[in-house]
């Protein structure tokens, strides 16, 4: 596992977030017959095979038909079911976009949309299987909360919160085992960013699977440059934790955003837009996938190619500092 080779010895390696999603859902389904997983031939990639074996009446298979997947999930949610529509993020957020917009968000049916193998998790399978547009597409839809957990702790908490969340929700998970990030503060709440490292010289705001390389870059900056960075897991892109964002920006320090998404319409632009409108003039830089045909490679190779890595983020941070 490539992640092992770059794992800091003081962080414990966990499972893939989407594995934790399915395990948490399975644990919760023991006590809640209203939990329904809706899948589009995606129970394997969604790690829901054990769930389906244990709760055959709580899984609805619709075949490879994402529009119907979301419509059915919306109908189930309307009837009071806690419907989790699970499908690769690339298909869920593009092919079923109108169902998400109308049947889930506009009709206010509290479906939990679960985008699995998200971002560039599918690596060399290429652009058809990448979801680098989902933040942008879903941010532009009213009544949609977007949550991208960074590690197994956040994932487990997010799934538990999703159960009682009563408005439309998009959860996005990757398929790579993730290390547990430091827990400086207790608690995980949708809409509240989570600080995983504190420092006054600069801030790195990341989400999902990019929080870990952001954290590594902060260690590198401390060790090699003597710079202390704050690192935030901004797991909820919408609604954005603007209170935390303004607090971080208040001392004028440079701010770097990092995300597994195209530069357009994601975390970076959300932060930049808010800060600019509030009059902040902090030096600001976005690390994201540029607007081009994405290079072929594994997720880590793609990350590295576009500077979403310990070295790349540290390098961009130093450019911003000078």
Partner 1 sequence: MTDRELQIKSVFLRKRLLHYIYMAKAGHTGGSLSCIDILNVLYNRVLRVDPTDFKNPDRDRYIQSKGHSVEALYVTLADRGFFPESDLETLCQYQSHYIGHPTKKVNGVEQNTGALGHGLPLCLGEAIAAKLDGKTHRVFTLLGDGELPEGSNWEAFLCAAHYKLDHLYAILDYNKQQITGNNDEVMNTASVRQKLETFGWAVKEVDGHHVAQLTEALNKEPFQKGKPNFIIAHTVKGKGVSYMEGNLKWHHGVPTPDEYELAQSELCKAETLI
Instruction: Kindly list the residues in this chain that would bind partner 1 in the complex (CB under 8 A).
Output: 36, 57, 60, 62-63, 65, 67-68, 70-81, 83, 98-99, 102-103, 106-109
Tokens describing residue 312: 């790349």
The whole-angstrom distance between residue 105's C-alpha and the CA centroid of its chain comes to 19
- Burial of 180 (C-beta count, 10 Å sphere; 0-12/13-18/19+): middle
Could you give the CA distance from residue 268 to residue 154 in angstroms, rounded to a whole number?
A: 21
Could you give the CA distance from residue 207 to residue 114 in angstroms, rounded to a whole number?
A: 16
The whole-angstrom distance between residue 322's C-alpha and the CA centroid of its chain comes to 30
> With respect to partner 1, which residue has the nearer C-beta, 30 or 278?
30
> With respect to partner 1, which residue has the nearer C-beta, 17 or 109?
109
Angle of CA points 208, 210, 216, to nearest 5°:
130
Q: How far is the CB of 134 from partner 1 (least distance, A)?
A: 20
Q: How far is the CB of 238 from partner 1 (least distance, A)?
A: 21
Q: How far is the CB of 34 from partner 1 (least distance, A)?
A: 9
113 in Cβ contact with 70 (< 8 Å): yes
Q: How far is the CB of 160 from partner 1 (least distance, A)?
A: 23
> With respect to partner 1, which residue has the nearer C-beta, 68 or 161?
68
298-315 b/e (C-beta count within 10 Å ≥ 16 → b): ebbbbbbebbbbbebbbe
SS3 180: coil
> With respect to partner 1, which residue has the nearer C-beta, 73 or 288?
73
Q: How far is the CB of 198 from partner 1 (least distance, A)?
A: 45
> With respect to partner 1, which residue has the nearer C-beta, 71 or 193?
71
Could you give the CA distance from residue 87 to residue 59 in angstroms, rounded to a whole number?
A: 13
> With respect to partner 1, which residue has the nearer C-beta, 98 or 311?
98
């Amino acid at each position: 596992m490539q992640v092992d080779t770059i794992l800091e010895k003081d962080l414990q390696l966990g499972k893939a977030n989407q594995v934790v999603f399915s395990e948490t859902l399975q644990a919760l389904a023991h006590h809640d017959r209203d939990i329904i997983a809706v899948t589009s031939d995606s129970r394997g990639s969604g790690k829901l095979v054990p769930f389906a074996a244990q709760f055959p009446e709580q899984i609805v298979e619709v075949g490879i038909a994402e529009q119907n997947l979301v419509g059915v999930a919306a109908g189930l949610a309307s009837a009071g079911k806690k419907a989790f529509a699970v499908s690769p993020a690339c298909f869920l957020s593009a092919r079923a976009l109108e169902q998400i917009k109308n049947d889930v968000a506009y009709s206010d049916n509290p479906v939990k949309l679960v985008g699995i193998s998200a971002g560039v998790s599918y690596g060399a399978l290429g652009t058809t299987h990448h979801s680098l547009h989902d933040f942008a597409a879903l941010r532009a839809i009213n009544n949609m909360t977007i949550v991208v957990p960074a590690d197994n702790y956040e994932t487990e908490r997010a799934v538990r919160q999703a159960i009682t969340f009563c408005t439309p929700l998009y959860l996005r998970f990757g398929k790579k085992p993730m290390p547990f990030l430091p827990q400086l503060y207790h608690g995980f709440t949708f809409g509240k960013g989570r600080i995983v490292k504190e420092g006054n010289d600069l801030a790195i705001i990341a989400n999902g699977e990019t929080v870990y390389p952001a954290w590594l870059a902060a260690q590198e900056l401390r060790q090699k440059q003597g710079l202390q960075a704050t690192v935030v897991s901004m797991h909820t892109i919408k609604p954005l934790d603007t209170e935390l964002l303004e607090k971080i920006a208040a001392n004028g320090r440079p701010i770097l955003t990092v995300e597994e998404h195209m530069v357009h319409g994601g975390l970076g632009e959300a932060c930049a837009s808010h800060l600019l409108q509030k009059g902040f003039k902090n030096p600001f830089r976005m690390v994201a996938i540029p607007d081009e045909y994405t290079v072929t490679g594994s997720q880590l190779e793609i990350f590295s190619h576009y500077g979403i890595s310990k070295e790349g983020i540290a390098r961009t941070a130093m450019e911003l500092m000078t």
